[in-house]
Structure 1
Amino acid sequence: MERKSRHQTTWHLINIKSRRDQSTEHYIQIFQKLQKEDPMISLPRGKCGSLKSVTFSELLDERNMVKWIKIILLSYTIVDPNAFYNKRNQMDVDMDNWDSDIVANKKEVELYFIPSVHTLAVRRNSDISLANIVLYLSEALNRLEPDTFDVDVLVERDILDRILNAHAVYSIEANISFSNPGHTKGFEAVFDNKLRNMDPNRINITAKGSREHPLINEEDGMLQAIVNLSEHNGNIKATIQPRANSKVEKIDSNEHPRILVIPQIVNDVCSTIYNTLLRRNNQ
């Protein structure tokens, strides 16, 4: 009998893409390697990130592949035993025999990765910021296999449509990579394939128009291709005029991560996320 929780949860989604070997086996293997080597990654504001645990699903899919991987990620501050100070008596404190494995200001977050769709889910408003989670994953995975993985937060589709449906687009700045094969069509597919064949780590694109001559947003054109690729494979900034005679507006996709609403948890979190992301991928 299914157990259901009526508690609604909200999630952000992260696309983890191998630039070359995009098989499910490869995604499972890299997280096995991550579990084994557990690199410590420097994060902003003097913090570090490393693993608390990695759990692989015992349930297999129809291809005998692991269904999900649960990662508990930590962030913390490395304690300097030579930097203790007693503010009352205004004297340095000597911490003899300090255990270097002791850290401070620990925070943790649960991450759920679905290898078959190479997508990771993290609860919205987690104790570790979304930016730091992306930074950790990008640095750790590429330390294990250099120049191999792109890690990008999925962007809300509405904000990208706001760019494409604007009365005028005056400028765009995009940092993108190519998508997985078969996910694009028309000129976007041609542009995407050319990016893939060039084999770059990332592509930075800047296009500027003016008030008198804004960028041309033709059907199935360059602007649409760049904006659409940024949904799963990068980020984009744009300066637009939403409507004729309206004020100019600046858009930064980093401020609009996609929010996935899961109305209820069925049986457990891992299987619910697995089923939700598979249905989403097959739509």
Structure 2
Amino acid sequence: MQQHDTLRSAVFLDFDNVVSGLATGAGPSVAHRFATDPEPWFDWLTHDLPRRVLLRRCYMNPAGYLLDENGNRAYFSAFRRAFQALGFEVVDCPPLTRMKNGADLRMALDVMDALAASTHFDEFILMSTDSDFVPLLLRLRAADRRTKLVAHPDVGRVVRAAADSVVGLDALARGLGWEASPLDEALFGQDAGEQVIAAMGEIMAEAQGPVPLAALGAQVRTHTGMTLRESDWGGTGSIDALVARVGGIVRQEGPAGGFVVRQEWLLPPATEAPSD
């Protein structure tokens, strides 16, 4: 292949994996934008070099769902037509177990089939945050094929070294119009528990008074895309353990779970020493 030739590319998208990563990192509205209108981000992703995307495949669990800002479910099957309209073949990947839908295995097999196909693909673009693809990326490199990986921004050095280029989900989110605050940028690289803990610390640092637990949970969901219960209380197992982990805040009893206050508000005011 000459340097200035048009790349013949194949795109393989683990839909469930990417959309959940965007929802967790950048919020439900960004993930919904990715799912309902794929053409803008697809153009953003593929127009850095001259290329023809000859093969476009999307692996999706139709029974999966995305929660919006109000907690309503949008089932993945509703997004199928938008991807088909962009020339994607949508491959149903129903759950094999409670936690696994088998998309990664199906993707790996299809990539190997494409590698052996009569059509010579110069480039393979894999969209998945699964680190299990390292052996596959190395196999593609050994076959002298270019690889681009769209993955979590906190992906490890071993995974980065296996691909020719890596696009973080945070960059993809910005391509979808995500305007991130410094807190949001920091949260994208953290796991679910760390995100909730960091978000709670930020929310309580800006609070002007006691925050009802229900309101706190709503604000955490806005920041992270997760409810407190979905995150297992930031990975701590309980609200009291989460409050202790954040530090500097206290939960007080009251209706609907009570209130969370900054510890400094509970300290008695300092008294001035009597003047002589």
Highest relative contact order (Cα 8 Å, sep 6+), 1 or 2? 1
For Structure 1 versus Structure 2, the TM-score category normalised by the shorter chain is under 0.3
* Greater per-residue helix proportion: 2
TM-score relative to the length of structure 2 = 0.23
